[in-house]
């Protein structure tokens, strides 16, 4: 599995966009980038995933750089309920979801 690196923590003002970066400079061509989040004491929740193209769903947008060495998860209008640990995971052929330390996002009122 490609190793991903994320900042340990970030703050975001409520109502503003939260932009969470992920570095995956050793990602291989077959590996998808997945994002999950975990709200305190709950199970991880799937957010979005992508391979090369930018993706958007009802929760978030995923921007992947052209060289695929990094990506950004965007929560367009963060709310207090978005406070969580966000995990960026690279998953390829036959690989499993291996979690790194993630980014602890605090949405502030």
Partner 1 sequence: DTEVTQTPKHLVMGMTNKKSLKCEQHMGHRAMYWYKQKAKKPPELMFVYSYEKLSINESVPSRFSPECPNSSLLNLHLHALQPEDSALYLCASRIGQGASFRNTEAFFGQGTRLTVV
Whether 107 contacts 80, CB under 8 Å: yes
Query: What's the burial of 67, exposed, middle or buried (CB within 10 Å: 0-12/13-18/19+)?
Result: exposed
User: Residue 20 has which token pair?
Assistant: 């969470």
Q: How far is the CB of 5 from partner 1 (least distance, A)?
A: 13
14/61 with CB nearer partner 1: 61
76/101 with CB nearer partner 1: 101
Q: How far is the CB of 86 from partner 1 (least distance, A)?
A: 11
Q: How far is the CB of 15 from partner 1 (least distance, A)?
A: 28
User: Residue 42 has which token pair?
Assistant: 């709950």
14/23 with CB nearer partner 1: 23
Strand ranges (DSSP E) for 39-94?
45-50, 55-56, 61-64, 70-75, 84-91
Q: How far is the CB of 8 from partner 1 (least distance, A)?
A: 11
Whether 41 contacts 98, CB under 8 Å: no
15/92 with CB nearer partner 1: 92
Residue ranges in contact with partner 1 by CB under 8 A = 30-32, 34, 36, 41-46, 49, 51, 85, 87, 91-102
């Amino acid at each position: 599995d490609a190793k991903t690196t994320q900042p340990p923590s970030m703050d975001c003002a409520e109502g503003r966009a939260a932009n969470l970066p992920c570095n995956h400079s050793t990602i291989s061509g077959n590996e998808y980038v997945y994002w999950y989040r975990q709200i305190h004491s709950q199970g991880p929740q799937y957010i979005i995933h992508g391979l090369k193209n930018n993706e958007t769903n009802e929760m978030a947008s995923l921007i992947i750089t052209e060289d695929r060495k990094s990506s950004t998860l965007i929560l367009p209008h963060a709310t207090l309920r978005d406070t969580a640990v966000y995990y960026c995971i690279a998953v390829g052929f036959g690989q499993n979801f291996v979690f790194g330390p993630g980014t602890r996002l605090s949405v502030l009122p």
